[in-house]
């Protein structure tokens, strides 16, 4: 089992080209697994983790409802945003500057074969990171992601999750609002959930700007521990 994860920070990168790059890596891992089984080989499968920040974009998961996008094509253009229907789980979400997006392309057979556990550990890495900033956060029953104020009238989402998996290989991942412009969430019903707010680390801490490199380092530390992995 290969527990090394190749880390790549792509900086700011267009959503579509990043999606295509994910698909390439995903296909390479799946193809190697198929080759191993067909030819009775035992070649180690690679794991990848991409950090990226996207220009303004809305994405709709395969089970999502297009009516949760509250903008017309012209309004999208006026806001400098793009829109894609994609092949992850979940409904609609927003990505943009000031948001840390993480895409793990992992062969879970290198770690454990449990998608539910995988999602919970991704959430846990964010929860532990936010706790380092003194924030009380957790999960909302029946809703993926990481929330603050769960069980109160002031519940607000700070991190969205949406993944795809095939043959135990994952893609897509999480989006953590750090310094994001939350006004862009007003143009959608985030994750199809009405009546719940969205927040950011910057808003919760009441600071001018949060050090994103520091947040990434904390996330990686917790992922290393939770997955018993090594980032290279």
Q: Is 58 annotated as contributing to ligand binding? A: no
Instruction: Consult the annotation and say whether 213 binds a ligand.
Output: no
pLDDT of residue 50: 98
pLDDT of residue 123: 97
**Nearest-angstrom CA–CA distance, 165 and 74:** 34
Helix (H) or strand (E) holding 94: strand 92-95
Contact (CB, 8 A) for 51 and 75: no
Give just the sign of the alpha carbon dihedral 217, 81, 201, 209.
positive
CATH number, domain at 210? 3.30.930.10
Candidates 191, 201, 215, 219; catalytic one: 191
174 known member of a binding site: yes
**Range of 77's domain?**
4-231
159 is catalytic: no
Mean pLDDT over 130-156 rounds to: 92
Q: Please indicate if the annotation marks 89 as binding a ligand.
A: yes
pTM > 0.75: yes or no: yes
Indicate the pLDDT class of residue 91, thresholds 50, 70 and 90: confident
pLDDT range class, residue 120, cuts 50, 70, 90? very high
The average confidence (pLDDT) of the chain is 94
Number of domains in the chain: 1
Q: Is 92 annotated as a binding residue?
A: yes
């Amino acid at each position: 089992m290969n527990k090394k994860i190749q880390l790549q920070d792509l900086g700011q990168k267009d959503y579509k080209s990043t999606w295509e790059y994910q698909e390439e890596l995903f296909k390479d891992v799946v193809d190697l697994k198929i080759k191993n089984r067909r030819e009775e080989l035992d070649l180690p499968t690679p794991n990848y983790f991409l950090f990226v920040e996207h220009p303004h974009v809305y994405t709709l998961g395969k089970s999502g409802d297009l009516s949760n996008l509250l903008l017309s094509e012209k309004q999208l253009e006026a806001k400098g945003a793009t829109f894609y229907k994609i092949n992850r789980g979940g409904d609609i979400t927003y990505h943009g500057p000031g948001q840390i997006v993480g895409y793990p392309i992992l062969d879970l057979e290198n770690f454990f074969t449990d998608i539910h556990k995988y999602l919970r550990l991704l959430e846990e890495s964010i929860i532990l990171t936010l706790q380092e900033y003194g924030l009380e956060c957790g999960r909302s029953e029946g809703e993926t992601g990481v929330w603050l104020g769960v069980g109160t009238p002031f519940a607000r989402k700070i991190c969205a999750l949406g993944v795809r998996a095939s043959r135990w290989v994952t893609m897509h991942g999480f989006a953590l609002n750090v310094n994001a412009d939350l006004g862009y969430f007003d143009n959608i019903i985030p994750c199809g959930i009405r009546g719940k707010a969205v927040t950011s680390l910057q808003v919760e801490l009441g600071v001018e700007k949060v050090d994103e490199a520091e947040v990434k380092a904390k996330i990686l530390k917790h992922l290393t521990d939770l997955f018993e992995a090594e980032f290279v």
